[in-house]
Structures are given as structure tokens and as C-alpha cells.
Amino acid sequence: MIQLPIEIGDTLLGGKFKNKRIVVKEIGLDEYGSPTVNGRSILKVRIPKLYKKLDENMMKSKYKEATEKFQKLPITVKVKKQDKRFCLFLQTVDGEECLDPVGYETKELAQHAALTKGYTVDGYEPPTNVTKAPMLERLIREIISELDVDVKDAKIEAAINELSTLENKLAAAKAQIAALEKELGIDAMEKQYAKIVNEDLGGLLDEMKKDEVRIVRTKTVLMEIKRFQAERATYSHEKVLDFAMTQVNQDVKFKILQELKTTEKITKIKPSLSFSKRENVLREAGLIDRAVKWVSTTVKNLVTQLRPKGQQIDANLDKLERVLKIK
């Protein structure tokens, strides 16, 4: 194979007398598979195997595009009764083909199963309003209830109840403090305080620190400096350690980790708790509504993407349709 050492930015000599300077701005292929520079072929001959290969690639690309387009087309099926069960039938060149010999108990279930599989049903318009299935809500309630732990110890129950009361009181107190701070303009006062210290008194405080003077008087006020202002540099030790570990060998890494282990300190982190009335927690939080909506949407989107894969999923889809039944 011949490879041409041409890159973007190179200069070629072209034209009739091969003396015209051409800066390479674009490299590509023409319809015959020959290399081009700035949209013009640089070969005086054609190589059949190049454009034959190019034609094959184009055919494959068009076939793939046509296949994907065909797969996105809606497939229409019919619902017919067979052996006392309602089944889905697809019209083929050889006649009607039964897609699910197991079938469904009612025509409505068969129609809904077809919709969840991504089909359109001949002569059937799906309803626009979808109601939550009571069975789905009951199942979610059962799942959530299984995650709960009923407290039987009287002391633990009393402690939890006391925590709940304290949390409510703390929340109320913090809300009152926040409202009072807003009413008094605490935030504005703190900003003004910082502005005076940093801008108006900045030079004076620096001189006092330099002379180690801690007390200054006005006609009405005596100001004492408890601690001089200072600058503190902070470093990201974790980032430095990560970088250092990439610059040393395995033995040094092991020693560093051993030394790091000796400085380890375990600190307990306070848990985050929340309390609600048990009988209202699910409905007040809208948990059931959100869970039903999420499960319904997720399952329907997932099943819609499933084209018929065989009879083994039909029974499961039947069960899903019973739970997600559209009324």
C-alpha cells in the first residue's frame, strides 16, 4: 500500500507546470474513492477497487438507514378470539400469524398488551386519559410497609417521640430567629460591620498590629482588640497526596499509606433524621402518587421498546397489563 505523507497545513505544488503553491486545508475522498486535497483529486488515474469498496460502504450505510427507518414504522395487529382467548394477529405475506398463542382473558387486556409491545391495534383508539391502577397503588403500599420497622421497646419508642418533639421545637425556634434576623436587618448590619473594619479601619488596625497596640479611644468609646486580623493559608493535602502517589514507586507508596494510617482519626457524623405522622406520611409527601407515576411511566417506556421476542414474555406482559390496566 502506498501512503502519502500529506497533512493539513502542508504546501503542495500543483498546476500545469507544478509550480503553483497549494496550502492543504482539507483532505478527503471523491466519488471514486481517490484522495482529494481542497476538494480536488490529486491522482491522474482511478483505482477500481477503491470506488468499488466505497460503493459497498454506501450500500451498507443505505441498507442500515432503511432498516432503522423500517423498524421505527408502526406495526398494526388485530385482536381476534381463538380457543376462548383473545390473541394478537399480524398480517404477513403468508396470511395471519398469531403472535401470542397463550392469549388474554379479555379483549381489553389484549389491546393494552399490544400497545405496551409497541403495536397499533386495527380499529382501536387508545384512551387519552390514563388512571392509576388501584392494584399498583396497593402493591407499592405493601412494598413500602415492608421497609418499615415497628418499634416494640417502650424506651426506644419514648426516645423517638421525644426526638420528634424536639425537632419540631427546634424548627419553630430557628424559623422565629430567621424571621427576627430579617426584621432587624442582621444581614445588612453584618455587611456594614465588615465594610467598616476592612475599608475604614483597615489602615488603623494594621498600624496597631505593627506597634502592638491593642487599645484605642475616642471621646465616647474605648475599642480593645482581642485578636488581630491575620491571613491564613490553606492547602489541599488530599490533592497533593494524590499527585505525590503518581510520582513514586510501589514501595514508597506503601510506606506513605502506612504513615497515613497512623494519623487516622475516626469521627462520628451525626445522623440526619426526619419525623412525620405515621398515618399521613405517605399521602402528605405524595409518595404514592409519585411512585405510581414513576413505575407506570418507566414500565410503559421499557415495554414499548420491546419488540416481540417470543412467547416467553407474553405471560409476564399479561400480568403487567393487569397491574397497569388503562380504564
Domain ranges of the chain: 11-65, 75-144+289-323, 187-232
pLDDT attached to residue 168: 87
Cα–Cα distance measured from residue 56 to residue 65, given in angstroms and rounded to the nearest whole number: 14
Range of lowest pLDDT (30-34, 64-68, 105-109, 261-265): 64-68
Beta bridge partners of 37: 27, 40
Specify whether the CB–CB gap between 47 and 34 falls below 8 A.
yes
Identify the burial level of 140 via C-beta atoms within 10 angstroms of its C-beta, where 0-12 means exposed, 13-18 middle and 19 or more buried.
buried
- Beta sheet of 85-92, edge-to-edge order: 95-98, 85-92, 75-82, 119-121
Question: What angle (nearest 5°) sits at the alpha carbon of residue 315, between those of residues 310 and 320?
Answer: 115
pLDDT attached to residue 310: 47
Q: What is the pLDDT of residues 236-294, one digit of tens each?
A: 878 888 888 888 888 888 888 888 888 888 887 777 666 666 555 445 455 556 666 66
pLDDT, mean over the chain? 76
Q: What is the mean pLDDT of residues 28-45?
A: 81
Q: Kindly state the helix (H) or strand (E) to which residue 114 belongs, with its residue range.
A: helix 107-116
**480593645: which residue's cell?**
224
Is pLDDT at 54 greater than 70 in this prediction? Answer: no
Is pLDDT at 164 greater than 70 in this prediction? Answer: yes
3-class secondary-structure state, position 131: coil
CA distances from 246 to 249, 255, 264, 314 (A): 8, 14, 22, 55
Whose CA is closest to 34, among 8, 53, 19, 58? 53
Could you tell me which residue, 77 or 296, shows the higher pLDDT? 77
In percent, how much of the chain has pLDDT > 90?
3
Could you tell me which residue, 234 or 49, shows the higher pLDDT? 234
Distance of CA 305 to the CA centre of its chain: 20
Confidence band for 176, pLDDT divided at 50, 70 and 90 = very high
pLDDT attached to residue 102: 79
Q: What is the pLDDT of residues 80-133, one digit of tens each?
A: 988 888 998 887 767 788 887 778 888 888 888 888 777 888 888 776 554 445
Q: What is the pLDDT of residues 306-316, one digit of tens each?
A: 544 444 455 55
Sign (positive/negative) of CA torsion 14, 19, 20, 24? Answer: positive
Could you tell me which residues come within 8 angstroms of residue 10 by beta carbon, excluding any fewer than 6 positions away? 23, 24
Ramachandran class of 84: left when φ > 0, alpha when ψ lies in -120 to 50, beta otherwise: left
pLDDT attached to residue 313: 55
C-alpha cell at 219: 471621646
3-class secondary-structure state, position 58: helix
CA distances from 248 to 121, 255, 256, 261, 262 (A): 67, 11, 10, 18, 20
pLDDT attached to residue 159: 86
